[in-house]
Amino acid sequence: DAGVIQSPRHEVTEMGQEVTLRCKPISGHNSLFWYRQTMMRGLELLIYFNNNVPIDDSGMPEDRFSAKMPNASFSTLKIQPSEPRDSAVYFCASSRLLWEQYFGPGTRLTVT
């Protein structure tokens, strides 16, 4: 079975540009989570979905961030406009069994 797939693995962009991160969860999983990891703030939960419905987006830092899950096999996290402080590693994770999350390899975002 393929694990959680994220793309791109690395993204370098200029301040003000739109950034879209993509995630394909493990087939059959019904919950999907977006995290951000930085040295300063550690691992932060941004938003999570259950059965494609956003359940809690209280971790989304501001309106520049948005996330969608149009179907069970795809989700996006969009930042518009991007800022240097958005530089981080963004992880997607999915789960089926209660509480056991499987993480993707992450997208390393650098905003200059």
Q: What is the contact surface with another protein in residues (CB under 8 A)? A: 4, 31, 33, 42-43, 45, 48, 50, 55-56, 91, 93, 95, 98-106
For another protein, the closer of residues 22 and 64 by Cβ is: 22
Contacts of 24 (CB under 8 A, 6+ apart): 4, 5, 6, 73, 74
For another protein, the closer of residues 4 and 111 by Cβ is: 4
Smallest separation (angstroms) from another protein to the CB of 103: 4
Smallest separation (angstroms) from another protein to the CB of 81: 27
Smallest separation (angstroms) from another protein to the CB of 12: 17
The 10 Å CB-count burial string (b at 16+, else e) for 17-34 is eebebbbbbbeebebbbb
